Amino acid sequence: MSLIDGYNLSFAYGSQPVLKNLTLSVQANDFLAVLGPNGSGKTTLLNLLAGLLKPKTGQITVQGKPIQDYRRAQLAGLIAMVRQSTTPTFGFTVRETVLMSRYLPTGKLFETPHDAHLVEQAMAMTDTLRFAERPLTALSGGERQRVFIARALAQETPLLLLDEPTSHLDLKHQIRIFELLKNLRQNENKTIVLVSHDINLIQHYADSFLLMAADGRTAYRRDAKGLDASTIESFFEVQVAQGTIANRRVVVPIGVFKT
């Protein structure tokens, strides 16, 4: 059963088209990776799926219901989103930042024991509990990113949308976050849509793949075997070599196609 669907989606910023007649169906309990070069519309797609943008044409449904028919609080109980980067402007602590995720879906101004439990659990999962009382402004970019992932987890939604969640993280925490997301899908039935530029990592964690090209082309692959060299070269406009290291498929860029 699909959790969220997009039908013939098109979007433009002014006169500049970004998405053209894109159709996708994200099945419940799927881990979908969205891959493509800069400017191909990946972030725009996530914003559409989150209800933050309205498509120029087409329709988005969540659990079979048009997304515009949901109230914001209802959507907050279904969809949590981690943006590519967020710069803190106030001195909230890490704990306070994560706790904020509980307000919109519940509408409660005061935390409950259940809220406190979810916040503690989310911080423990993302290795942010140890600086729970520090202000967000005192953290590094990678530490802040883990806090925002914790905030999304504490929101307790069936669908997680993540826009390059590991882009500021060190190698250890990149692996920890991908392992965490894989575990959430397998053991807690979460549905995940994640934008990534790290093909070598994401192909070992995601179940399916949506490729988006700068010229508006899209392609769906049911598993990582579909990410062959010719497909990657076609969508990223770069020459690659593909091989195996430690029994894992890897992709190495070796040159840019001449225009």
Retrieve residue 235's tokens.
């969508």
Residue 40 in domain? yes
The mean pLDDT value of the chain amounts to 92
Residue 83 in domain? no
Residues 141 and 214 in one domain: no
What count of Cα atoms within 13 Å lies in the side-chain half-sphere of residue 24? 30
Residues 38 and 108 in one domain: no
Q: Are 58 and 9 in contact (CB under 8 A)?
A: yes
Residue 72 in domain? yes
Domain boundary among 134, 156, 178: 156
pTM: 0.93
Residue 189 in domain? yes
Residues 162 and 222 in one domain: yes
Residues 167 and 54 in one domain: yes
Domain boundary among 112, 139, 156: 156
pLDDT digits (tens, 9 = 90+) for 194-218: 999 999 999 999 999 999 999 999 9
Rg (CA), the chain: 19
Residues 152 and 218 in one domain: no
Residue 118 in domain? yes
Residues 73 and 164 in one domain: yes
Q: What domain range includes position 132?
A: 88-156
Residue 23 in domain? yes
Who contacts 54 (Cβ-Cβ below 8 Å, separation ≥6)? 48, 68
Residues 199 and 249 in one domain: yes
**Per the structure, how many domains does the chain have?**
2
Residues 168 and 242 in one domain: yes
Residues 228 and 165 in one domain: yes
Domain boundary among 114, 138, 156: 156
Average pLDDT over residues 142-163: 94
Residues 142 and 216 in one domain: no
pLDDT digits (tens, 9 = 90+) for 26-46: 999 999 999 999 999 999 999
| Pairing mode, strands 159-163 and 191-195 | parallel
CATH number, position 214: 3.40.50.300
CA–CA gap between residue 28 and residue 22 (Å, rounded): 19
Residues 144 and 170 in one domain: no
pLDDT at residue 109 is higher than 70: no
Residue 93 in domain? yes
How confident is the model at residue 89, as a pLDDT? Answer: 62
What count of Cα atoms within 13 Å lies in the side-chain half-sphere of residue 17? 13
DSSP at 12: E
pLDDT digits (tens, 9 = 90+) for 232-253: 999 999 999 999 998 888 999 9
Residues 65 and 178 in one domain: yes
Residue 68 in domain? yes
